[in-house]
Structure 1
């Protein structure tokens, strides 16, 4: 059979989706049976990039995307404090590449605007890298312009995004926020409460705000939490005070996130 006749004879086979290489078959890769593979890919892509940059541990900053630099009320002060803290943590925490080839306490945010932008911006002010863990939303979230481009990621799965936020964290700083911020905060507090992650310091910025929106003492009085659970976090009202609280709470400087951080010279270890 001549080549032209052969091509005509097997055209249907070659055109069939089943004939595509699996790695190049988008319809197959996006199918429900490959959800686990996609989940793994979201882990591996980010893990590989962070290793390449020597990121061993992070300081995670949460806060509302609705905070504006020139917003009303206390928003200006919140934005300014998050920006100042991003610079302080980057300058003092070990975000610059050390002789060991590692970076510690690199600012990591959800990658969006508001308090997240401010923290990434502070790191940029200090000339340090910072991470943006973005998420695909129905109304597309765009990354803020201050996270390091090579460390700006996008996730489909909230669960994998949360895992990457938690697994290298040496500390958590939470600026005022709404549902999304509450979700992230209480997930980390639950992981700490149940010993599913190291006992990292957690600092809530603006005590007046947090006590006005969450009645922690009422939870205790109702028996929903234990007295020691109120020790899982502290409050601060200035960027400098946030740093002081983190250090007092045992912030590891020049060390990996206990039981969580990837060793850039070897294998990844630990939880979650």
Structure 2
């Protein structure tokens, strides 16, 4: 039988979404069925970069994005303290290494402005790598200019971002903040209270702020928490005070080259 002189075109097949390579098919990858895969990708991408930089452990710093270097009232003081603490922890904690070994107590933040910027800034000024775990928001958050570019990440899923913030944390330092800061703080407090996380030090900066914002004694008096739950965290009033609290609570500095 003679060959068809005008074979049918396969243009429709070539153009079909089903013919795309799965790894290059954005519509497929962003579909509902691939949500688990996207979770895995957000985990794996940051994990690979952190390992490449030898980041074995971190000190996580939370606090308001609305606090500026020249802000009103106590804002400027909070910013300055977070910046100083980022520098102190980076110089003394083991984030700066010359021998290519693992880095410990690397400053990690949510990557945005305010207290996050201040802590990343102090670490950068110490010559240490510093991590920014950014989140995609309706009003786009941009990374601050002080997190190490190779360690500046962006997440779609809050859950995966929180996991990365917690999983390497040797300590948590929380400066004054609002809903987001409270969310992150109570997440870690709950993990500690339920013993789902190691007994890492948790330090709240500026006791007057925290006592005014949260009546911890009422939680105890009403039986909502056990009195011993208040031992999970401490207060500090200066950058040096934060560092001392962390050491007193068992933080182990890595190699110190200063």
TM-score (norm 1): 0.91
1:24 aligned onto 2:20: no
Superimposed CA distance per residue, residues 177-216 of structure 1 (whole angstroms, 9 cap, x where no aligned partner): 0000000000000000001110000000000000000000
Work out the CA distance in 1 between the residues paired with 2:166 and 2:158.
Answer: 12
With over 3 angstroms needed to count, the CA separation of the structure-2 counterparts of 1:194 and 1:5, relative to structure 1, is farther
1:207 aligned onto 2:197: no
SS of equivalent to 1:9: coil
Equivalent residue number for residue 103 of structure 2 = 103
Superimposed CA distance per residue, residues 206-265 of structure 1 (whole angstroms, 9 cap, x where no aligned partner): 00000000000000000000011000000000000000000000012239xxxxxxxxxx
1:134 aligned onto 2:137: no
User: Once the 2 structures are TM-superposed, how far is the Cα of residue 5 of structure 1 from its aligned partner?
Assistant: 5.0
User: Once the 2 structures are TM-superposed, how far is the Cα of residue 96 of structure 1 from its aligned partner?
Assistant: 1.1
User: Once the 2 structures are TM-superposed, how far is the Cα of residue 73 of structure 1 from its aligned partner?
Assistant: 0.4
| Counterpart contact for 2:90–2:106, Cα < 8 Å | yes
- Aligned residue runs from structure 1 range 148-163, under 5 A: 148-163=148-163
| Counterpart contact for 1:201–1:232, Cα < 8 Å | yes
SS of equivalent to 2:60: strand
Work out the CA distance in 2 between the residues paired with 1:100 and 1:202.
Answer: 29
Work out the CA distance in 1 between the residues paired with 2:252 and 2:185.
Answer: 20
SS of equivalent to 2:247: helix
| Counterpart contact for 1:207–1:235, Cα < 8 Å | yes
| Counterpart contact for 1:54–1:97, Cα < 8 Å | no
User: Once the 2 structures are TM-superposed, how far is the Cα of residue 9 of structure 1 from its aligned partner?
Assistant: 1.4
In the alignment of these two chains, the number of paired residues is 253
User: Once the 2 structures are TM-superposed, how far is the Cα of residue 98 of structure 1 from its aligned partner?
Assistant: 5.1
| Counterpart contact for 1:60–1:172, Cα < 8 Å | yes
User: Once the 2 structures are TM-superposed, how far is the Cα of residue 101 of structure 1 from its aligned partner?
Assistant: 1.7
Work out the CA distance in 1 between the residues paired with 2:93 and 2:162.
Answer: 22
- Aligned residue runs from structure 1 range 221-236, under 5 A: 221-236=221-236
The CA RMSD over aligned residues, in Å, is 1.4
- Aligned residue runs from structure 1 range 233-248, under 5 A: 233-248=233-248
Equivalent residue number for residue 183 of structure 2 = 183
User: Once the 2 structures are TM-superposed, how far is the Cα of residue 142 of structure 1 from its aligned partner?
Assistant: 0.1
Work out the CA distance in 2 between the residues paired with 1:90 and 1:100.
Answer: 16
| Counterpart contact for 2:95–2:254, Cα < 8 Å | no
1:194 aligned onto 2:194: yes
Work out the CA distance in 1 between the residues paired with 2:124 and 2:100.
Answer: 22
Work out the CA distance in 2 between the residues paired with 1:123 and 1:117.
Answer: 10
Work out the CA distance in 2 between the residues paired with 1:86 and 1:120.
Answer: 6
> Structure 1: 5+ residue runs without aligned partners?
256-272
| Counterpart contact for 2:59–2:170, Cα < 8 Å | yes
| Counterpart contact for 1:134–1:143, Cα < 8 Å | yes
Work out the CA distance in 1 between the residues paired with 2:130 and 2:116.
Answer: 11
Q: After alignment, is 90-99 or 55-64 more displaced?
A: 90-99
